[in-house]
Amino acid sequence: MTRRLTGFQPTGHLHLGNLIGAMRPLVAAQATPSIAMIADLHALTMEHDPRQLRANTLQVATVLIAAGVDPQRTAIIANSQVPEHSELHYLLECATGYGEAARMIQFKEKSAASKTVRLSLLTYPVLMAADILVHDCDQVPVGDDQSQHLELTRTIATRFNARYGQTFTVPEGIRPVNTARIMDLADPSRKMSKSTPSAAGRIGLLDPPEVIRRTIARAVTDTVGVVRVDPERQPGVSNLLAILRACADREPGPFTSYGVLKREATDAVESVLGPIRARYAELSEDPGHVRKILAEGKAWVQPRAAETVRRTRAALGLLD
């Protein structure tokens, strides 16, 4: 049976890129058994503030529900709350080479940019492998930046099965249809990201209408003066068009100026984010409700995760 896992790092406020690239495909595919995982353990790999992390984790869970992830159909979990993730992580570390982890581009980039490097940053992709394999997931929606990590997951699982006997389902990476990589509005050469220090290029899913309007009004365009998709020469305009197409419920345009494009984009984004904000406000009135959904998600997935860990331990020769 097909089972998918989509992860979200609680490293900041979820943004329009997360919605278009990951949350909407998750909501659209809810007929397929899925797990929406908040990767709070992954957030520990970089400098973090404990109080902020706890708040972010609950906020991500709440935003997922507000955006339409149905906890009756999709298990919503935090990976720290299902200890099998951590146990399998260690067991998989014992089946992964140091060189395999150190070669990961994301490790090289993030470690080069930090003064101190946590050991967990090196083993991050092994934890990601554990997140996927522990639930026997066979499909993982991935963007470009995670495809190398998924390849490592596949390598670890395949090698483990060959060496210790059939233990893991080897997952496939899938590209969700109708998604776009949303770029930073202030610097369209890089993707919109939670952790970019400046919020000028990011539309947060909970941003009030005025902030959305201002952010889009200030979005970088160009001097060409024609509205068309040309990511090479007109990355800013192409990005605004991608956002508009993803959020509008009708074919946008015609555009007589960049101002018209920005106004249509603002209206379309607000029409998508307005209901999410309203539902978020309702859900926030009862934080216990979201905690309960996380506990239910854990109870739902844990039996299978425990069985995977049991199988792995037995294959490795550990006592039961």
Q: At closest approach, how far in Å is the CB of 157 from ligand AQP? A: 20
Residue 17 or 167 with smaller CB distance to ligand AQP: 17
Of positions 3, 4, 5, 8, contacts ligand AQP by CB under 6 A: 8
Told to check if 20 binds ligand AQP by CB under 6 A, we report yes
Residue 247: in which H helix or E strand, if any? helix 235-247
Told to check if 182 binds ligand AQP by CB under 6 A, we report yes
Tell me the catalytic residues.
110, 191, 194
Bridge partners of 204? 15
Q: At closest approach, how far in Å is the CB of 208 from ligand AQP? A: 20
Q: At closest approach, how far in Å is the CB of 166 from ligand AQP? A: 29
What does the alpha-carbon distance between residue 171 and residue 5 come to, in Å, rounded to a whole number?
Answer: 10
Of positions 4, 5, 13, 22, contacts ligand AQP by CB under 6 A: 22
Structure tokens, 290? 């979201």
What does the alpha-carbon distance between residue 102 and residue 141 come to, in Å, rounded to a whole number?
Answer: 24
What does the alpha-carbon distance between residue 95 and residue 159 come to, in Å, rounded to a whole number?
Answer: 8
Structure tokens, 261? 């494009």
Residue 33 or 143 with smaller CB distance to ligand AQP: 143
What does the alpha-carbon distance between residue 234 and residue 176 come to, in Å, rounded to a whole number?
Answer: 25
Segment 117 to 176, residues that bind ligand AQP, using CB under 6 A? 143, 145
> What is the signed CA dihedral for 11, 13, 14, 17, rounded to 10 degrees?
-90
Segment 183 to 202, residues that bind ligand AQP, using CB under 6 A? 191-195
Structural contact between residues 305 and 85, judged by C-beta atoms closer than 8 angstroms: yes
What does the alpha-carbon distance between residue 12 and residue 195 come to, in Å, rounded to a whole number?
Answer: 6
Told to check if 252 binds ligand AQP by CB under 6 A, we report no
Residue 149 or 154 with smaller CB distance to ligand AQP: 149
Residues that bind ligand AQP (CB under 6 A): 7-9, 11, 17-18, 20-22, 143, 145, 181-182, 191-195
